Structures are given as C-alpha cells and as structure tokens.
Amino acid sequence: MNNQSKHVKLYEGSMITLRALQNYLDDEKTPSLIKNLAESARLAGFGTSETANELYVYEENLEKAKKVLTTFLKE
C-alpha cells in the first residue's frame, strides 16, 4: 500500500454482518474499514436505518476481498 491507496466499498449491511465479514477478511490478511453511518447520523441528530453501514477495502485488495465476500455469503 502506498500513500495514494484508495478505499472502495465492498459491502453494505448491519454492523453484526459487517463485523463477521471483517473477521473473515482479517483471517485472509486483508485490511478493511467499517463506516458506521447509523451511529454518525444518530450523533448528528438524524435518524437512519440500522443497516446503513459500509465496509471498505483498499482498491488493490478488492479482487481478493470479493472472493472472501463470496465465500462469506455462501455460509
């Protein structure tokens, strides 16, 4: 990863699902980032769906992460 690495959205869902997916990615040594949009909206005084959360990976890890996602969704 270089200083110009970009994050790309891999998946969107509930925090429980995203944490489980993040564990799968960690097992494969693929770093990820979860944006908790529901909590951000709550803190700002707005309401939003509890499933308004997103998981991001580095652009250069996207293909590997997609394979992990496919396996995760099958289980």
All domains of the chain in start order, with CATH: 7-74 (3.30.70.1530)
CA distances from 40 to 4, 18, 64 (A): 26, 16, 29
Phi, psi of 69 (to 5 degrees): -60, -45
The pLDDT value recorded for residue 36 is 86
* pTM (whole model) above 0.95: no
Residues 6+ apart with CB under 8 A from 45: none
State which residues of the chain have pLDDT below 70: 1-4, 38-51
